[in-house]
């Protein structure tokens, strides 16, 4: 039996989005509770591609809130270093919102997951009925790799970026912890109204 609470899900966001998350949870851009002052730190071109990308279930990627199965992802590198027109962000400004597959299920949210980057044509899509086999579907070894360039494994990056996609808003109760770069950032979050229902951890090794 798979322990779904041990399968953690990671979403990166700008620290200035945290007050809204603490009040409303992680909200979709189409939500009635959406963050009207949301600060995006990802690749805008990729976001537009995702909004138009139709999945096998007939819905678009843009209808879902994406998570990774681990930290230290290629997208973080883009966020910190600034590629593809992305303005670089300091590690202190990037916060991980962490939940688990079990928490998403308990919140009764629908989801889809993939065995690689969702827009890659080699990636496949899976649904709640497949969750019992998730550890056979995703490549946990690839996800845990610190870097993703290997001449002996040109598909490593795709598998490392496997995604868990959640439909609808995610309530704050389903967010189990926040991870930040340093104690200074942790102190900032405490001042924003963090109320200890979520664990607050300092993980500099989650960053570049």
Residue 1 within any structural domain of the chain: no
Residue 132 within any structural domain of the chain: yes
Domain of residue 145, residue span = 8-206
Identify the CA nearest to 98 among candidates 2, 21, 32: 21
How many CA atoms lie within 13 Å of 19's alpha carbon, on the beta-carbon side?
Answer: 8
**Tally of domains within the chain:** 1
Hunting for tokens 């868990």 — which residue is that? Answer: 164
DSSP-derived 3-state class of residue 143: helix
Residue 104 within any structural domain of the chain: yes
Q: Identify the pLDDT of residue 194.
A: 87
Q: Identify the pLDDT of residue 33.
A: 95
pLDDT, averaged per 10 consecutive residues of the chain (208 residues), comes to 96 98 96 95 79 94 97 95 88 98 98 97 98 98 94 96 97 97 97 90 97
């Amino acid at each position: 039996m798979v322990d779904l609470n041990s399968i953690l899900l990671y979403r990166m966001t700008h620290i200035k989005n945290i007050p809204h998350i603490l009040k409303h949870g992680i909200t979709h851009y189409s939500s009635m509770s959406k963050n009207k002052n949301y600060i995006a730190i990802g690749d805008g071109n990729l976001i537009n591609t995702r909004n138009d990308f139709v999945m096998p279930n007939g819905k678009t990627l843009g209808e879902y809130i994406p998570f990774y199965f681990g930290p230290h992802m290629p997208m973080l590198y883009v966020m910190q270093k600034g590629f593809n027109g992305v303005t670089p962000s300091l590690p202190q400004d990037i916060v991980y919102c962490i939940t688990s597959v079990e928490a998403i299920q308990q919140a009764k949210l629908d989801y889809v997951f993939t065995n690689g980057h969702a827009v890659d044509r080699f990636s496949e899509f899976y649904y709640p009925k497949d969750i019992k086999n998730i550890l056979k579907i995703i490549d946990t070894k690839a996800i845990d790799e610190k870097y993703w360039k290997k001449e002996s494994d040109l598909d490593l990056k795709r598998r490392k970026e496997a995604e868990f996609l959640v439909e609808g808003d995610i309530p704050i109760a389903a967010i189990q912890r926040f991870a930040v770069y340093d104690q200074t950032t942790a102190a900032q979050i405490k001042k924003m109204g963090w109320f200890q229902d979520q664990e607050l951890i300092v993980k500099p090794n989650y960053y570049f």
